[in-house]
Chains A and B, each alone.
Chain A
Amino acid sequence: MSTPKEVLSQKKLKAKEELSAAGFFKPLKIYVGSATCENAAGAKEIMKIFETQAGKKDCRDFYLSKKGCVGRCNLEPTVEVYEEGKKTVLYVKVNEKEAEKIIDKHIKVGK
């Protein structure tokens, strides 16, 4: 019989597959802070803006995900952009205009 540790390592492999299927290993990842506090500051709308960009022709493929609140209440909503080989960028106080800028800078092809 396998030990709980072994069972977990099996599950870890499965988790990797599941994440990969969800697109987690794409080179571009965007995290939108979405705890109650961030939602109150408007994170839900920001999330929608990014959602509508997914799959568009002139856009790079990216992985979009929620994350918890990092604790910067006065700077919410926050958006993190992970790009392979580049420094992670944290955008704060993101409004609709700012979100468009992020899309232009990181997501649009050829920028």
Chain B
Amino acid sequence: MPAMSVSEKFKKVFLDDKYSVGQERVALRNVGLIDPENIYDYIYNARGYQALAEVLTDMKPEDVVEAVKKSGLRGRGGAGFPTGMKWEFTAKEKSLEKYVVCNADEGDPGAFMDRSAIEGDPHSILEGMLIGGYAVGAQKGIVYIRAEYPLAVERLEKAFCAARKEGFLGENILGSDFSFDVEIRLGAGAFVCGEETALINSIEGKRGMPRPRPPFPASNGVFGKPTLVNNVETWANIGAIFLDGADSFAALGTEKSKGTKVFALAGKINNTGLFEVPMGTTLKEIVYEIGGGIPNGKKLKSVQTGGPSGGCLTEKFLETKIDYESLAAAGSIMGSGGMIVIDEDSCMVNIAKYFLEFTKSESCGKCVPCREGTTRIYETLTRITEGQGEEGDIEKLELLGEIIKKSSLCGLGQSAPNPLLSSIKNFRKEYEEHIYLKRCRAKVCEKLVDYVINDNCVGCGACRRVCPATAIDGTVKAKHYIYSAKCIKCARCFKTCKFNAVVKETGLPE
């Protein structure tokens, strides 16, 4: 085989612009380069199952765990727990029956890293799980995937069938003593089931609610047996560690966060899409080089990382090198890799409200702080965006957020206030304008702007007819005007006008 790294291969194919230059493909090493439905393509062209064969031939299970520890790989689901440690805990448990689980319950709005990884290269995930099963002494693997990903499920099934046929699954894999098989469990798409204990409950056929930890899944997981739960992206990285060596994996990234991370870039950005960069890449490189900047010459306002569990970063964090620690220090989290770029046309209060609406409805309701707390935050934020904000709201929200973080049972509640707290921290002025001045700088909150008619008006009278408050006056074919004292700010005139003649004004100094 030629000594061309996969990243080089990827760049050779896609070297079209800055988009691919900063990338380093490890977890997604084969995605977009091979046929995901053809096991032979994987075996012949992508060094498929070579890592497994090497592990089974030359390494004892302890050595495998040691190699993963040495690589410095950390959980890619968001929390960043060292993967090697997790493997070691599960391997040390004494039990005849153990499980490895692939967590493919990807629920962040706008995130699709796991879907893409499975749809583009299902065999790498399977190979990772096989190596994991060998290392911890498990015979059974379970992929927990949401039913909303039909194509990913279909490709996984195809991959498993092909692997069984070729002897990569089943009894005595590749002629060794190691036997292993996997099955797929479909989830109904509850966000909380991405939390490992809730996921285990769901696999067991129970309601998807988290359990208190400890006992951790490593000792008491699926059906009470020791269980190793890792995210899709973590599993995808395992093969690379054994193909190219733990050292070359650890050479990528920062001191505490090794390797690469896949991000799904969305929002107000030119190049939306999926990319994989080494840990330690700055936000600036991601937004302006890989992302290609903000469309329509708008200004960057914020970058939201980590989805509903993450926070909103401002421009001053553009030089931040992305790894688990630096993002946490900046008030956000790495999360599973969703990254939403926000420009000046978005209202931060409204964005916090959006995320809280999501966590409120996805909260499983088991513990009070999360169930009641997220609802109260959402109600307060709704009040603020409708012009009913009161003095002291910000302080109450901050206090409530801290309480929820400290007292919730699982990761969902512990991280749910992050979008709120980080946006208060970084955009306090905007909250104050909403509450005290009843003004929305970004012209998003309908009740917090003035509606005026400009010279585009042709006098068609459409706005006058829809106004429920008879606040608009004017004669046919002459410019109309709005009595602001009578206006109830329902925005109907704004939505009705076909001539862009009704505009929103903030009334705030620039």
Contacts and interface: CB of A to CB of B under 8 A. Distances in A.
Nearest to A92: B16
Contacts of A8: 43, 49-50, 52-53, 174
B36 A4 contact: no
Contacts of A69: 31-32, 116, 119-120, 274
B233 interface: no
Contacts, number: 121
Contacts of B52: 4, 8
Contact of A67 (B36, B43, B150): B36
B41 A68 contact: no
A12 B268 CA distance: 45
Nearest to A67: B32
B173 A72 contact: no
Given A15-B40, A19-B41, A71-B275, A3 B120 contact: no
B58 to A, nearest CB: 8
B362 to A, nearest CB: 22
B378 interface: no
Which residue, of B30, B35, B151, has the highest number of chain A Cβ atoms within 10 A? B35
Contacts of B324: none
Contacts of A75: 273
B332 to A, nearest CB: 22
A66 B12 CA distance: 19
A74 B273 contact: yes
Interface in A23-55: 24, 31, 33, 35-37, 39
Nearest to A69: B116
Contacts of B173: 4
Chain B interface residue number, banded: 35 or more
Chain A interface residue number, banded: 35 or more
Given A8-B49, A68-B121, A15 B43 contact: yes
B116 A90 contact: no
A75 B272 CA distance: 9
B19 interface: yes
A68 to B, nearest CB: 2
B163 to A, nearest CB: 11
Contacts of B31: 68-71
Nearest to A2: B175
B14 interface: yes
Contacts of A14: 40
A105 interface: no
B490 interface: no
Nearest to B290: A71
Contacts of A83: none
A71 B274 contact: yes
Contact of A18 (B19, B33, B40): B40
A101 interface: no
B174 A67 contact: no
B43 A12 contact: yes
B35 A72 contact: no
A26 to B, nearest CB: 14
B119 A68 contact: yes
A33 B152 CA distance: 14
A67 B10 CA distance: 13
Which residue, of A1, A68, A71, A90, has the highest number of chain B Cβ atoms within 10 A? A71
Interface string A57-73: 00000000111111111
A100 to B, nearest CB: 23
Interface of B: 12-14, 16, 19, 28, 30-41, 43-44, 49-50, 52-54, 56-57, 112, 115-116, 119-121, 149-152, 166-167, 173-176, 270-275
Interface of A: 1-5, 7-8, 11-12, 14-16, 18-19, 22, 24, 31, 33, 35-37, 39, 65-75, 80, 88, 90
13 contacts: A3-B56, A5-B54, A11-B49, A35-B116, A35-B151, A36-B152, A66-B35, A66-B36, A68-B32, A68-B34, A70-B32, A71-B116, A90-B13
Given A3-B175, A14-B40, A72-B19, 13 more contacts: A7-B175, A8-B53, A11-B167, A16-B44, A19-B44, A37-B116, A67-B36, A68-B31, A68-B34, A69-B274, A70-B14, A70-B32, A75-B273
The 4 closest A-B pairs by CB, nearest first: A68-B120, A71-B274, A70-B32, A4-B174
